[in-house]
Structure 1
């Protein structure tokens, strides 16, 4: 074999090795992780003039799990607020206290501590003077003075311009619908009486026999 032919065969052999290397691709080791870059990516990067390291970074970023979300931080629960204290100057002993400015009732034990306190809806009109009263009568089921609806657990303690004033449950109109929501308690909405949510109306009914003192504050 001539020298010329031998050199020609050697050149072809080396070219074949190079083509095999490109066909199999290149393995790049980044830290402890081996990333295989296919020839098309290498070829495309070279063609576009983009460094190979940019392609590797893209592959690594795409390999990160997309479903991983940061932990959700729960807001702390609201701190319960203490019940408002029994109004100063509301007397002593066992009594019911109705504060008109706060639209709130307290059922006060003989030692001066509150057994129960809750928001109510008093009169929209100026028909109840501050002062001391007593429970005069109790009616389990009652009808509104204008026959517009009914209420339960009526505890009468005063008289307004012409009609009795008392504590009772939120009235229902003649269709059976409540005339206000629980969320509206704390706002004066009645025509003269003191509206209570039903469990509170029952509690006052049980607390207040006839003769129980009622103190109304401004």
Structure 2
């Protein structure tokens, strides 16, 4: 009769395996293309006026929160716009910013922050921080994070799967301050 393995040994083995997989996936999550922010440049065709305007130019309006992204306090991530909104409990956008998604994107739907990791080294060798896991797909964990030095990730080679959604440094700080475990994340097309 074969010896029976105690349940504590199974739990310990599974836990160690899960921690190892999370570590590898966290490193992979830090890779991926990054969005570029458009910068406004003064027009060379501006003409001088005898009566200059007393008011400054209006500030561009940030993109509206996507329709069908739910209500209440949440993070909204638009796959098509490559943009995140931090939405307060009144349903008002507190902040919005572009992001650099990885090569594996979550399906549209509602998720929750499941784990927060203060910092680690990304698979691109860059120190990353504010890692917040909320989804998984195709064996890849998907998380928000930012590079400590503010850099964007280098392009990844063909066939490399990454689930990191990188933010800028200040945006990563704001997202980390807002999102605790169980904070809702709504992914829209």
TM range (shorter): 0.5 to 0.7
1:152 aligns with 2:129: yes
Unaligned runs of at least 5 residues, structure 1: 1-71, 182-189
Which residue of 2 is the match for residue 48 of structure 1?
A: none
C-alpha distance in 2 between matches for 1:171 and 1:162 = 26
How far apart are residue 148 of structure 1 and its match?
Answer: 3.4
**Secondary structure at 1:81's aligned position in 2?**
coil
Which one has a bigger Cα radius of gyration? 1
- Which structure has more relative contact order (CA 8 Å, sep 6+)? It is 2
Which residue of 2 is the match for residue 169 of structure 1?
A: 146
How far apart are residue 160 of structure 1 and its match?
Answer: 3.1
1:116 pairs with one of 89, 95, 103: 95
C-alpha distance in 2 between matches for 1:208 and 1:109 = 11
Which residue of 2 is the match for residue 131 of structure 1?
A: 109
Give CA-to-partner distance per residue, 1:48-78, whole Å, 9 cap, x none. xxxxxxxxxxxxxxxxxxxxxxxx9389865
1:207 aligns with 2:185: no
TM-score, reference length from structure 2: 0.62
Which residue of 2 is the match for residue 178 of structure 1?
A: 151
Matches within 5 A, 1:16-165: 73=48, 78-123=57-102, 125-144=103-122, 146=123, 148-165=125-142
Q: Is the 8 A contact 1:122 1:194 kept in 2?
A: yes
C-alpha distance in 1 between matches for 2:126 and 2:137 = 19
Tell me the number of residue pairs that the alignment of Structure 1 and Structure 2 aligns.
Answer: 133
